[in-house]
Amino acid sequence: MTLAAGTALMFDGIVPLALEAVTAQPLPMQLAVINDSNDVLLTNVLMLSEKHESDDDDEVMKELHRHDLKLKLILDLLSVLLQQQNLLPTAKSVRFSGEQLAVLADDAVGIESGQAIKCSVYIDPFLPKPLLIYATACECFESEGQRWQMFNFTSLNATVQNHLEKLVFRHHRKSVAQLKRH
């Protein structure tokens, strides 16, 4: 299943993204550190997006909910400050799964098929920390009248890929729920 064929579950949205051509993949020890960092980020993103059922009469749960809202407010404000300081890259239309990333071809000008790329993807607006993924550029494809540049991930370990697939599934589930509401 590929994003080009449109059969895979995918995250489809607009997020800050930076693409950088690299001459080679990082060394295995560097990749281990990157994957550990990606694992922590994805674990935190998944944890923040979890919804817990609670008893409305439980005072402890009400207090925890208030603290949760305060924490999300602080993270949101921090993210806005970093965006104002231009520390985050420009937001771009992206599609990704646990194995691939696609960006509009106009946002990937100068990248050729087979080229090694470092992708910094800011997957959560509340956490101004990027998911770092190494990938290889593939051929462009057309979808819904737009031209997309495809990248195959080359550096994700199984744990990070599993977390990324969970994130994509949750995003898909939220999108379906929003469509049903409307």
Instruction: Return the CATH number at 28.
Output: 2.40.10
Does residue 68 lie within any of the structural domains? no
User: What's the mean pLDDT in 26-52?
Assistant: 88
Q: Examine residue 84 and state whether it is found in any structural domain, yes or no.
A: no
Query: How large a percentage of the chain has pLDDT more than 90?
Result: 49
Domain-embedded: residue 63:
no
Strands (DSSP E) along 35-88, which ranges?
none
Q: Once rounded to an integer, what is the mean pLDDT over residues 58-70? A: 82
Domain count, the chain: 1
Question: For residue 119, is it within any domain?
Answer: yes
The yes-or-no verdict on residue 68 having pLDDT over 90 is no
**Is 58 contained in some domain?**
no
pLDDT in tens, 100-156: 999 999 998 889 999 999 999 999 866 778 999 999 999 899 988 999 999 999 989
At which residue do the structure tokens 């090694």 appear? 116
Environment class of residue 148 by beta-carbon count within 10 Å: exposed (0-12), middle (13-18) or buried (19+)?
buried
Are 97 and 12 in contact by the 8 Å Cβ rule? The answer is no
Write out the residue range of the structural domain in which residue 102 sits.
11-50+89-181
User: How many CA atoms lie within 13 Å of 166's alpha carbon, on the beta-carbon side?
Assistant: 15
Residue pair 117/109 in contact by the 8 Å Cβ criterion: no
Using CB atoms within 10 Å of the CB of residue 67, give its burial: 0 to 12 exposed, 13 to 18 middle, 19+ buried: exposed
Which of these ranges, 4-18, 40-54, 72-86, 91-105, has the smallest mean pLDDT? 72-86
Query: Residue 154: inside a domain, yes or no?
Result: yes
Is 110 within the bounds of a domain?
A: yes
CA 140, CA 25: separation in Å to the nearest integer?
22
Domain for residue 72, yes or no?
A: no
Q: Residue 172's pLDDT band (boundaries 50, 70, 90)?
A: confident
